[in-house]
């Protein structure tokens, strides 16, 4: 059985922000960059999955309402792929949190946060979450024969 070590987050973790609203994306991207993150963005679930598969960000922050591919299908694709399954996903929502939290936990999301969520607090929450996660498994077989979907 493989032992997992506590994760040491990178100095400038790469966060993928997924949101169909340009104003929210720009606001969070600018703030997280200021707070020491590298930031990538996607405006829908399809592009987000492609980007996550290609770059393997340290963490993903996504809005619930996404164009083209809904958030739950996006998360299912991530968690079902060996290359992306260990990327933690944080869901931001302005909907009722309790039912969403149950759905998110069932689908393997790391956290659900209720909007409005101040960027400084989000940066702190992401760093805390990254520090609590186990190190990704280093199994070589996880990357062999992988497909995008």
Report if residue 28 sits inside a domain.
yes
Domain range enclosing 42: 14-131
Check residue 5 and give its pLDDT.
40
Say what the pLDDT of residue 2 is.
36
Q: Look at residue 145 and tell me if it is in a domain.
A: no
Instruction: Specify if 81 maps to a domain.
Output: yes
64 domain-assigned? yes
* Torsion sign across C-alpha atoms 121, 30, 87, 68: positive
CATH number at residue 45: 3.40.50.2300
Is position 96 within any domain? yes
DSSP reduced 3-state for 59:
strand
Phi-psi region of 61 (alpha: psi -120 to 50; beta: other; left: phi over 0): beta
Calculate mean pLDDT across residues 84-89.
Answer: 94
Instruction: Give me the number of domains the chain comprises.
Output: 1
Its sign, for the CA torsion 103, 106, 107, 108, is positive
φ/ψ (deg, to 5) at 17: -100, 125
pTM of the model: 0.82
Angle at 44 between CA 38 and CA 48, to 5 degrees: 45
In a domain, 4, yes or no: no
**Strand 111-114 to 89-93 pairing:** parallel
Q: What is the pLDDT of residue 34?
A: 94
Residue 7: what pLDDT?
Answer: 56
Residue 141 within any structural domain of the chain: no
Q: Is the pLDDT higher at 37 or at 114?
A: 37
Q: Does 5 map to a domain? A: no
* Each residue's pLDDT tens digit, 61-75: 998 877 777 888 899
């Amino acid at each position: 059985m493989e032992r997992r070590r506590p994760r040491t987050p990178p100095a400038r973790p790469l966060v993928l922000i997924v949101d169909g609203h340009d104003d929210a994306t720009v606001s969070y991207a600018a703030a997280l960059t200021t707070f020491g993150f590298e930031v990538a963005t996607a405006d829908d679930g399809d592009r987000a999955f492609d980007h996550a598969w290609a770059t393997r960000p340290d963490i993903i922050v996504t809005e619930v309402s996404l164009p083209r591919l809904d958030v739950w299908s996006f998360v299912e694709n991530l968690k079902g792929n060996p290359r992306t399954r260990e990327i933690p996903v944080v869901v931001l929502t302005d909907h009722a949190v309790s039912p969403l939290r149950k759905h998110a936990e069932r689908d393997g999301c790391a956290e659900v946060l209720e909007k409005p969520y101040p960027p400084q607090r989000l940066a702190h929450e992401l760093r805390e979450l990254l520090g609590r996660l186990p190190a990704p498994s280093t199994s070589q077989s996880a990357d062999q024969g992988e497909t995008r979907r």
